[in-house]
Amino acid sequence: VRVIDVDNANVAGISGVFNIVGNLNLTSPTGSPREHWVAGTSYNITWTSSAVNTVKAYYSLDGGLTWTLINSAPGVGGTMAWPIADLQQVSNNAKIKVTDQDNESVVSSISPLAFDIIASFDITAPESGVLVVAKDSYTITWTLKGTGVNNVILEYTTDGGTSWNYV
């Protein structure tokens, strides 16, 4: 950069060499209000950017100590779909980071607060309309999306969900 006095060209100053870099701001997820992203579902990671050609997105399950690459996308698009894997480890301390692919150590933005990656259950038996006879044995089955769920509680309701009883 050079600055020159309009009235006297002999009065000038020149800066040293510097770099102009882009700017990124992650807009989702931010963790506020607390977000719950479900394994096996796709969510949009969004950002605003200036002078960034390609954005790389990463996720962390440990609050930002370690990062795993999700994908890359054009910087101007401002959106990247993240199809969270069915077998994704669950976490209550997840964060997203976006970086400028050409200047990752300088241009980045991270979720300010943690969000949750949670599991989901799909009850496969009994299904809607199936008759279950009181005091008869019945096998309850489900599929799980997300890993890290070690124990479950089985409950049933007879009043549409107002109260629940242990199986």
Entry pTM:
0.84
Q: Are 107 and 75 in contact (CB under 8 A)?
A: no
Residue by residue, pLDDT tens for the chain (167 residues) are 999 999 998 999 999 988 888 999 999 999 999 999 999 999 999 999 999 999 999 999 999 999 999 999 999 989 999 999 999 999 999 999 999 999 999 999 999 999 999 999 999 999 888 999 989 999 999 999 999 999 999 999 989 999 999 98
- Contacts made by residues 151-157, CB under 8 angstroms, sequence distance 24+: 152/121
DSSP secondary structure string for all residues of 38-59: ETT-EEEEEEEEES-SEEEEEE
